[in-house]
Amino acid sequence: MSVMSLLFKTCEALLVLAMSVAIANAEPDSDALRLRLECQGSHITIGEPAWFFISMHNSSNHTINPYPSVIDNTILLCSMDGNDYSPCVYGRMWRDSLGTLDMYPGRVVWHGEVRLYLKGTPGTALDQYESYVAELVFSRPGTYYVKAEPGDPAAHESDPVQVTVAPLPKGERPVMEIWSRPEVATFIQGYTHKEGVAPLERLLEQYPDSLYADHARYALGEYWAGQYFTKKTSDPHILRKASVHFAAVTERVPIRKMRALYQQLVIVDRKLFMSDEVDLEALARELEPRMSLADRIGLGEKIRERLPRVLAREKPTAAPTATQP
């Protein structure tokens, strides 16, 4: 090998080494933070909510301390052609702030789920249900594209995911006459008010096998549990009514079933007299294979804390909070 070739090889090796050192010593930034968006079930029927899982991934080779805005101000954008996107959830999307994070190389942080149903007005937070309008995010059949946009422009938005919205089946047309009422739509969104109770109870009475029945059961369960715990009523019949609705939620929408099981656990934990009416061993068996899903939506740790105490018939050690949506 000639002297010139040897020098060239040496310089090339030194350059590679220098680049490696530079990367290793680079200042932390947000360029390598990537949002990931996944849909639980890419096929829904028009009028149904759709659920998305959100996570953040550090694809770099160094630890990153992201700005809070990367997490707190992420929004979801929707499109029907994959090109022209517009916000479908405004304002803060994340259920809780993650605070300061050490995003070491390869770390993935899941932060629960976001349900898309009604469109929000600008500045709407997820818990400000009265600021939502009675307009569906997925307002007509077809294929939609949804992506997550970070609150910090230096971070990378997620790749889009597809959601296929099927037309209304002929057999569901009578149900839609009830389902499409504004007071029902906002009730399903989470703004549980008494005006939505009677229509949904009528829906379950007349169409118990409807595609929309599980959503109605869960929403009514939340309503009656809220009446018991937040209105300070002492009527156990109301709490039993909530538990019956949660217990009737089927497997059709896994995330609905997961949350319904958790709500049953919360009810028994807060009012142990319900343990005589809920098969706790069966509840534990149903929860066990769902723990990975529970961890994704932020319920895993709560279940692991509550379930042993309930099974042991222990009283809560701290004042319980209201049931979660």
Q: Per-residue pLDDT for 157 more than 70?
A: yes
Residue 15: inside a domain: no
User: What's the pLDDT score for residue 60?
Assistant: 84
Same domain, 259 and 284: yes
- In the chain, the number of structural domains is 2
Pure H helices in 46-142: 68-72
Query: Within 13 Å, how many C-alpha atoms sit on residue 175's CB side?
Result: 24
pTM for the full model?
0.79
Same domain, 161 and 179: no
pLDDT confidence bin for 99, thresholds 50/70/90: low
Same domain, 184 and 102: no
Same domain, 86 and 39: yes
Same domain, 143 and 180: no
Domain boundary among 135, 166, 197: 166
Q: Per-residue pLDDT for 150 more than 60?
A: yes
Domain that holds residue 302: 170-311
More confident residue, 299 or 210: 210
- What's the CATH code of the domain at 151? 2.60.40.10
57 bridge partner residues: 34, 108
Which strands form 75-79's sheet, in the order they lie side by side? 43-45, 161-166, 142-149, 75-79, 86-89
Q: Which residues contact 68 (CB under 8 A, 6 or more apart)?
A: 97, 99, 100
Instruction: Tell me the pLDDT tens digit for each residue of 184-222.
Output: 988 888 877 899 999 999 999 999 999 999 999 999 999
Place of tokens 């009446």: 227
Residue 1: inside a domain: no
Alpha carbons 144 and 138: distance in angstroms, whole number:
8
Lowest mean pLDDT among 14-18, 135-139, 152-156, 219-223: 14-18
Q: Per-residue pLDDT for 321 more than 70?
A: no
Residue 128: inside a domain: yes
Instruction: Tell me the pLDDT tens digit for each residue of 244-255.
Output: 999 999 999 999
User: What's the pLDDT score for residue 144?
Assistant: 95
Listed residue (90, 30, 29, 92) closest to 56, CA to CA:
30
Same domain, 174 and 123: no
Domain boundary among 133, 151, 166: 166
Alpha-carbon distances, residue 175 vs 57, 168, 180, 251 (angstroms): 42, 10, 9, 20
Residue 161: inside a domain: yes
Cα first-last separation, the chain: 72
Q: Cβ–Cβ contacts within 10 Å for residue 179, how many? A: 23
User: What's the pLDDT score for residue 1?
Assistant: 53
Residue 159: inside a domain: yes
Q: Per-residue pLDDT for 316 more than 80?
A: no
Same domain, 174 and 302: yes
Domain boundary among 113, 137, 166: 166
User: What's the pLDDT score for residue 209?
Assistant: 96
If you average pLDDT over residues 107-115, what whole number do you get? 78
pLDDT confidence bin for 130, thresholds 50/70/90: low
Alpha carbons 158 and 160: distance in angstroms, whole number:
6
**275-284, long-range: CB < 8 A, 24+ apart:** 275/310, 275/313, 277/240, 277/243, 278/243, 278/247, 280/310, 280/311, 281/311, 284/311
In the predicted model, what is the mean pLDDT of the chain? Answer: 80
Same domain, 142 and 193: no
If you average pLDDT over residues 51-71, what whole number do you get? 79
Same domain, 175 and 300: yes
Same domain, 110 and 157: yes
